[in-house]
Amino acid sequence: MKCIKSISGMKNFSRMQHSQGFKIGFVPTMGYLHKGHLSLVEIAKRNADKVVVSIFVNPTQFGPNEDLDRYPRNINRDKKILSGMGVDALFLPSKKMMYPEGYLTYVEVERLSKILCGASRPKHFRGVTTVVLKLFNIIEPDIAVFGEKDYQQAVIIKRMVSDLNLNVRIFTGKIVREDDGIAMSSRNTYLSSDERKRAAVLYKSLLLAKDLVKSGEKNCKKIKNRMKKLIKSEGGKIDYVEIVHSESLESLLSIEDKARAVVAVWIGKTRLIDNMQLK
């Protein structure tokens, strides 16, 4: 596996692959890899000839009081995992390279960036779309793979790709869960052992919603109230519990085919998100 630290080196690598007729599959990450990331790499491998992974803890998607400094990092372990999986190139840009002094340009997907996670993290998605667009411009992937754990992020990226006529096809990978159902996330490492047990309530609340829908409940308000009650019973502090249309992310009053439950909950000092298709 080639470890590439410069933007020009990354561009050269990609151009070389394209000139030989290879399709590039790209998985952007912030590192501290877990099985969720690895499932995305597998999707890239199945759908492209060469796989590029990036690791960059992107400062512009963290708010002033968020966890940028303590975000978990273990680059040597990540390198071993990726080379063991047959990844062709790992792109490791520095903050200075991605955002040199005088940097002023951002891209924002309106409306979708302001709701759900965007309501409590106002500049988060602007940072995500900006860095992803920069990475797409540098790597020029034919396909790129995002995880459904960050469901809103995947919807926003697809919107950006379509609105800006980008030449990349977006694939999404299903949520990978621990045995107790908690969605794999680098942020799970922040949880104490007691919090870790209580964090399974996000998944339980989604299963509850799915069961209620299966038993014929159509009223979203009633379903959300039951979910909230369950989350609070485990000491979770709710940021949002919503049932939305899976493409527009508009809040639904009544269950329909594309209904998706999405939750953001504080367990202690850690904010966790999860989601599930209800039908």
41 DSSP assignment: H
Instruction: Report how far residue 138's alpha carbon sits from residue 216's, in angstroms, rounded to the nearest whole number.
Output: 49
| Helix H or strand E segment including 196 | helix 193-198
Cα separations in angstroms, 237 against 13, 145, 188, 227: 46, 31, 16, 12
Residue 128 vs 143, nearer CB to ligand PAF: 128
66 DSSP assignment: S
Does the active-site annotation cover 37? Answer: yes
Question: Which residue among 40, 131, 183, 201 contacts ligand PAF (CB under 6 A)?
Answer: 131
Core vs surface per residue 95-111: b (16+ CB within 10 A) or e:
eeebbeeeeeeeebbee
The count of residues interacting with ligand PAF (CB under 6 A) is 10
Question: Which residue among 51, 52, 89, 128 contacts ligand PAF (CB under 6 A)?
Answer: 128
Least spacing, CB of residue 147 vs ligand PAF, in Å: 7
- Residue 173, helix vs strand vs coil: strand
Residue 144 vs 261, nearer CB to ligand PAF: 144
Question: Which residue among 28, 118, 173, 236 contacts ligand PAF (CB under 6 A)?
Answer: 28
254 DSSP assignment: B
Q: Which residues pair with 238 in a beta bridge?
A: 265
168 binds ligand PAF (CB under 6 A): no
152 binds ligand PAF (CB under 6 A): no
Cβ neighbours of residue 126 closer than 8 Å, sequence gap 6 or more: 60, 61, 106, 107, 108, 113
108 binds ligand PAF (CB under 6 A): no
Question: Which residue among 29, 172, 205, 246 contacts ligand PAF (CB under 6 A)?
Answer: 29
Residue 182 vs 278, nearer CB to ligand PAF: 182
Q: Which residues pair with 173 in a beta bridge?
A: 147
160 binds ligand PAF (CB under 6 A): no
60 binds ligand PAF (CB under 6 A): no
150 binds ligand PAF (CB under 6 A): yes
Task: Specify the stretch interacting with ligand PAF by CB under 6 A; choose among 25-33, 86-94, 203-211, 266-274.
Answer: 25-33
The catalytically annotated residue of 18, 37, 124, 245 is 37
Task: Specify the stretch interacting with ligand PAF by CB under 6 A; choose among 24-32, 64-72, 80-88, 99-107.
Answer: 24-32
Q: Which two tokens stand for residue 258?
A: 């594309």
Instruction: Report how far residue 262's alpha carbon sits from residue 115's, in angstroms, rounded to the nearest whole number.
Output: 12
Q: Which two tokens stand for residue 43?
A: 């999707």
138 binds ligand PAF (CB under 6 A): no
Q: Which residues are catalytic?
A: 37
Residues that bind ligand PAF (CB under 6 A): 28-30, 58, 61, 128, 131-132, 150, 153
